Amino acid sequence: MLGQVNPVAFNLFGIAVYWYAIIIVSGIVLAVWLSSREAVSVGLKEDDVIDFMLWGLPSAIVGARLYYVIFQWQDYIDNPIEIILTRNGGLAIYGGLIGGGLALFFFARHRFISTWTFLDIAAPSVILAQAIGRWGNFMNHEAYGPATTRSFLEGLHLPKFIIDNMNIDGTYHQPTFLYESVWNVLGFIVLVLLRRKKNFLKEGEVFLGYIIWYSFGRFFIEGMRTDSLYAFGSIRVSQLVSLVLFFGAIGLMIFRRKKGAIKFYDREKGTIKKAE
């Protein structure tokens, strides 16, 4: 066996630097780079994406942390200082989307940029960053599924280092972090292909496609996780949110098409317009 992966990558001047942080930051950097390239193709500037990150990234981190803490309050009520310590995980993607979305709303209006255009630009990059970020959960030995056997994991033809590290406290577990990572990579490919269909796609539908794809997969994967956040007793928060987002995105897509006052997503001509 390769043994358990150490969550700490290295120490810098006596400060532990965690793999979780390195992986999350790597995903963000890649997302910004890809989004910047796409922004230019639809008539925006690379600086628009970079400037938004100054607004959006702090808001997304705060939103992701608050979302997690709210549903795990019993873990922090006796030691509130732990709320600001995220190096061991404790960030919820749905909270990050809420925080980042609020920042984008104000940023887009401030810059007179279509919010839908910006969401379309960011969506494929975001889901790819999420795929990368799940490996931070792997390094932290978290976000795993129910107990299973080593033979089952070997039957999935997984690399040995993944199988070895799915042995948590003497029990093998389903690698739900990997299931979601693979699902998100597939989602990235689907969204990139989807936004090429400029004669079919309406503005905002790359983003709505992201919501539909991610929430569908997350609903089923969340049902397998052993560390879900719960509300009202036995209701898994992320499953409930996934259902709302899935049907909400489909409904909004239908409504906007019937309304008819939206543009095609045209990568050559651009879709930038004044915010209404």
Binding residues: 134
What residues contact residue 272 under an 8 Å CB cut-off, 6+ apart? Answer: 42, 43, 44, 113, 114, 117
Per-position DSSP letters for 112-160, written without gaps between them: T--HHHHHHHHHHHHHHHHHHHHHHHHHTT-S--SEE-HHHHHHTT--H
Separate counts of helices (H) and strands (E) for the chain: 9, 7
How open is the CA angle 205-207-208, to the nearest 5 degrees? Answer: 60
